[in-house]
Amino acid sequence: MPPAPERRTRWDLTAAAVLALVVLAVGSTLWWASDARRTTLSTAPGPASTIAPGTTAHLPAALTEAWRAPSSATPVPLVRGDTVVTAAAGMVAGRDLRSGALRWSYRRDRSLCTVAAAFHQVVAVYRRGETCSEVTALNWTDGQRGPQRTGPVQAPTRLVAAGDHLAASGARYLEVWRSDLVRTLAYGRLPTPAQPATQPRPDCLHGSMALGGGNAGPARSSAEKLAVVEQCPGERTRLTVQRSDPRDPERPEVIFSVLLPGRQAQVIAVNGQRVAVALPDPARLVVFDEQGKAVAEHPLAIPDTDLRGNPPAGVVDVTKTTTEVYWFTGSATVAVDTGELRPQWIRPGSLGPGSEVAGRLLLPVPGALAVLDTATGQQLSTLPVDRGSYRGPVATASSGGVVLEQRGDMLVALREGLVSSTW
Superfamily of segment(s) 159-191+199-314: YVTN repeat-like/Quinoprotein amine dehydrogenase (2.130.10.10)
Using left for φ > 0, alpha for ψ between -120 and 50, and beta otherwise, residue 109 falls in alpha
Query: Do 94 and 85 contact (CB within 8 A), yes or no?
Result: yes
Q: What is the pLDDT of residue 58?
A: 75
Q: What is the pLDDT of residue 2?
A: 54
Question: Would you list the DSSP string of 311-367?
Answer: PGGG--EEEE-SSEEEEE-SSEEEEEETTT--EEEEEET-SS--EEETTEEEEEETT
Q: What is the pLDDT of residue 32?
A: 46
Q: What is the pLDDT of residue 16?
A: 59
- Listed by start position, the domains of the chain span 159-191+199-314
Stretches where the chain sits below pLDDT 50 are 26-34, 36-37, 52-56, 216-222, 418-423
Q: Three-state SS string across 19-74, please?
A: HHHHHHHHHHHHHHHCCHHHEEEECCCCCCCCCCCCHHHEEECCCEEEEEEECCCC
Q: What is the dihedral of CA 78, 163, 371, 283, to 10 degrees?
A: 110
Amino acid at 117: A
CA 114-49-141 angle, 5° bins = 35
Q: Is the pTM of this model over 0.85?
A: yes
Q: How far is CA 375 from the centre of its chain?
A: 26
